[in-house]
């Protein structure tokens, strides 16, 4: 079952990557149809796809898509942690506080008790809200980050459950999927918005007008596609990670208490303007925006942990 989950998540990642590259190329083709002022949409696409006319913008969009994937792989840590003060917690660092040292020990315990053959890097992120996330392109370069508020306000078992939850994301092989969706979605939407204003001069032929209309429609459709994709992928993986935490700890109660405390923390304060990094939202343990949220509700997650 565990190996099946990993294979499914690897397949999903490859499909999502292919989908995003295809959307980038499609946007490029539409802009190229406008650029060459094609007499019809079909003729323009045919000429560009079979290189009767060089699809300059399409090639550029392909390079942009592949470049975005490459940058994501190389600089994911900087992308995910940017906008906040953070520090890596190392077992050998004697300057760590008691709570920080205990957090390092908790990670080591969870890794040992789950028989995990790797240890993610551990980061503490300065933030007034209670949250955590896991990220990385592979198990070998994975990381777990928790906020200072989470570390300070949860008891040891609850904190251990959260760490186990994030380790489960890595063990399930879905951190790469979350990283890709979070980063490429934002770049894709920016590319679609800018594409509408590229080569949008006085082209009057029918093909150019049709391509321009499709680009305008994409401005409204792509955010909905992105939202649906993030919701579809993220909700199932949160249930799985909650179950993974309960399995590792052999107890579902610490995870339930942690979810309740985190939810209460967000209910008592508005942190919507605090986190300046939009790519972290899909990766967080908890998403406070339940309307169109990438995460299931706390109530449903607790029901699932209770087997209801």
Pure H helices in the chain: 2-35, 41-49, 56-81, 98-113, 148-153, 156-171, 175-196, 206-249, 253-268, 298-305
Alpha-carbon distance of 303 to 192, in angstroms, equals 40
145 closest CA partner among 107, 115, 195, 118: 107
Active site residues: 166
What is the b/e burial string over 272-282, where b = at least 16 CB atoms within 10 angstroms of the residue's CB?
eeebeeebbbb
279 closest CA partner among 188, 163, 168: 188
Tokens encoding 35: 């650029």
Alpha-carbon distance of 308 to 303, in angstroms, equals 5
Are 166 and 121 spatial neighbours (Cβ–Cβ below 8 Å)? no
């Amino acid at each position: 079952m565990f190996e099946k989950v990993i294979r499914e998540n690897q397949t999903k990642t490859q499909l999502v990557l292919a989908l995003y590259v295809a959307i980038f190329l499609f946007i490029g083709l539409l802009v190229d149809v406008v650029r060459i002022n094609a007499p019809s949409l079909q003729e323009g696409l045919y000429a560009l796809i079979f290189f009767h006319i060089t699809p300059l913008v399409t090639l550029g969009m392909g390079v942009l898509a592949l470049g975005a994937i490459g940058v994501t792989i190389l600089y994911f840590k900087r992308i995910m942690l940017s906008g906040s003060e953070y520090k890596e917690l190392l077992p050998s660092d004697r300057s760590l506080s008691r709570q920080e040292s205990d957090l390092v020990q908790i990670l080591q315990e969870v890794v040992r008790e789950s028989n995990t053959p790797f240890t993610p890097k551990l980061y503490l992120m300065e933030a007034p809200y209670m949250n955590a996330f896991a990220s990385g392109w592979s198990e070998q370069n994975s990381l777990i980050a928790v906020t200072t508020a989470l570390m300070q306000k949860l008891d040891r078992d609850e904190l251990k459950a959260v760490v186990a939850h994030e380790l489960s994301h890595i063990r399930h092989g879905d951190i790469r999927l979350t990283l890709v969706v979070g980063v490429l979605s934002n770049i894709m939407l920016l590319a679609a918005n800018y594409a509408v204003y590229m080569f949008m001069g006085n082209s009057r032929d029918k093909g150019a007008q049709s391509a321009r209309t499709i680009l305008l429609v994409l401005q409204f459709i792509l955010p909905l596609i992105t939202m649906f994709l993030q919701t579809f992928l993220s909700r199932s993986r949160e249930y799985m990670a909650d179950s993974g935490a309960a399995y590792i700890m052999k107890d579902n109660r610490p995870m339930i208490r942690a979810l309740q405390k985190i939810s209460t923390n967000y209910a008592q304060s508005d942190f919507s303007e605090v986190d300046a990094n939009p790519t972290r939202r899909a990766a967080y343990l908890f998403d406070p925006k339940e309307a169109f949220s990438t995460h299931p509700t706390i109530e449903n997650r607790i029901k699932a942990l209770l087997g209801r």
